[in-house]
Structure 1
């Protein structure tokens, strides 16, 4: 039988999130039911709730950085047992048949992956509801093991912020002997610093203003460059093998391209949209020095598990501020002001208040 659960939902783009009761489906053969313990709060949650990208269907129960405990499993489940601590990230299904899915790139499913929330279940067409709730049901393939020893609340943002930055670091070969820079020190940027440092790269933070040095060094940066300082930017011209750009709005990437070494890559993970007008990209430096401008979107399930295991080995979790679900609307306002270091995480137990 379906299970009635409590959560928080937005019912319109201009409305606050409010308490919301809804049903989780009964278990299919390969399903795992999870009691949610913690759920991270991502900027994507705000974009979906506010319909910034268009096409949203309400109500929306956000949340795709989920850590919880298994309570039931379907008869075909082999990887998980009751009581196990697990995670669910941005996806809960894909077609499982296309070339992307066959190559563990479910995030690029050619038939459209199913989002953890604000998506449609590919079997019954129902809306998917996310982690701002008591329970979630997901197919075994899209459930992840959380390594023992990690702080569970701090581990929740790894399911989005962690994999979003780990994937391009791994893809473009961050490691010993490589020089990696990170643009922006927020939820994504602080994870990129931690991960690149653990990969033994030499790590630099690009910041538009002074005052980030203490945090940057604590998080793993070796250097900080003020990107508005022309002399500092000239000093690092042609330096970096890889730049992870986490800035979530349209901006001029040309000054950062100039700091790439020959055949270096700048990877956009924060901004979705055109770079045009004053932000248009000059291709000449890329053509004449073999530089790459790329994009990256989370990771597949195998890579996400690899990232979690890496974080378990190195003791890496997100820097968080814990909140009760009743404070979610205030948290959204603070996120607009960048007033969080560096990720809000909801204590799901507060749904019982």
Structure 2
């Protein structure tokens, strides 16, 4: 099977002000190494990180920039030394990480997302040669095989894509905090990631408390399987649920409006409050030492390969259905999806599809 040495994708070019009108560009692929995999992309989820990077909320990125890190596609090339069992034509996924040293103590203990040589799927230079990674709103992606994941046959592509960053990012703290039978777990923020948190925590056997500012999402949370609902606009909620939860995962895309004087109080002593929020660059978290008494407050990043594979199998085995809207990838639909995500007009994730229609001509020429 032929494959290109240049890829084509939709990129933010010249200025972040143009983020709602990405342009179709051709760009060089990174050097192909002996354990690399070329993937022809078939679908890509839309993550809040894509919006933050495209519009400059996380600072100025090197442009042009192709975002997208919830990639589903098929293997079209394998390096000579690949040994993870992948075959040409396999349906695979790539999440938000494409490289690490794979040699340090963190990488050796299934913590490669915390490796000092971590490289994100887009916007970050590789340590070896400075090539700036480009993402999944594109014809292809080239990745080290460690970060290429087999997709269980039972999973629909549109549902599998959002799991690769959003689902993985909430699954890792759930797993590490002991989510399971007998545990009471809170999910704060019932949105793209939060709704996956409810579904996953229920499948893991926990008693789930959905936590949101108002009652607007109570019906949705109940339909997703939450056992309880807490609206923080209600007077005295922190007293009613005092000393109740074993752990909480904070899934909102902003820390604004989170009352850290109240939220930890509903944890048991030594309970864990884990944030996965990476808000706009200007936001910061300030805590008084008294707010930490008896609690563990921490930040989690992505998930390891082992956790990703476990999560994908959990979703497949339990026939979990995400709430996903599909859109054919195009300049217009990327802008529309970004605008709707900014305004909260999605229940609860987007997956871009129809990559063949958009990039087919480019593939045929290569």
CA gap 1:350/1:213 in 2 versus in 1, 3 angstroms: farther
Query: Per-residue displacement from partner, 1:274-298 (whole Å, max 9, x unpaired)?
Result: 223xxxx3433532xx211111011
8 Å CA contact 1:87–1:146 kept in 2: the answer is yes
Report the Cα offset of residue 38 of structure 1.
Answer: 0.8
1:198-277 matches, within 5 Å, as: 198-251=203-256, 252-272=259-279, 273-276=283-286
In structure 2, what is the equivalent of residue 351 of structure 1? 358
- The answer to whether 1:293 aligns with 2:300 is no
Matched, 1:124 2:129: yes
Calculate the TM-score normalised by the size of structure 1.
0.93
Structure 2 residue aligned with 1:328: 334
* Deviation readout 1:233-260 (Å, 9 max, x if unpaired): 3211111111111122233222211111
- List runs of 5+ in structure 1 lacking aligned partners: none
| Pair 1:80-2:83 in alignment | no
Secondary structure of the 2:17 match is: coil
The alignment of Structure 1 onto Structure 2 pairs a total of residues equal to: 346
Deviations 1:285-341 (A, max 9, x none): 532xx2111110111222222221222222234321111222101111111101111
- The runs of at least 4 aligned residues of structure 1 exceeding 6 Å deviation read none
- How far does residue 21 in structure 1 lie from its aligned partner after superposition? 1.6
Larger mean Cα displacement after TM superposition, 241-250 or 193-202: 241-250
Shift of 1:56: 1.4
CA distance in 2, matches of 1:197, 1:184: 16
Which secondary structure does the structure 2 equivalent of 1:266 belong to? strand
Q: How far has the Cα of 1:263 moved from its partner? A: 1.5
Question: How much is the aligned-residue C-alpha RMSD, in angstroms?
Answer: 1.7
Q: Deviation per CA, 1:110-163, whole angstroms, max 9, x where unpaired?
A: 2x3111110113333222111000111111111111111111111101110111
In structure 2, the residue matched to 1:307 is: 311
Q: Is contact 2:260–2:291 with CA below 8 Å preserved after alignment? A: no
Alignment correspondent of 2:364: none
Name the counterpart of 1:90.
96
Whether the 8 Å contact between 1:90 and 1:159 is mirrored in structure 2 is yes
> Which digits, 9 at most, give the CA deviation of each residue in 1:202-245, with x for residues without a partner?
00111111131221112120111111112333211111111111
CA distance in 1 between partners of 2:334 and 2:322 (Å):
19
Mapping of 1:63-78 within 5 angstroms? 63-78=68-83
Q: Which residue of 2 aligns with 1:316?
A: 320
Q: Is the contact between residue 116 and residue 129 of structure 1 (CA under 8 Å) also seen in structure 2?
A: yes
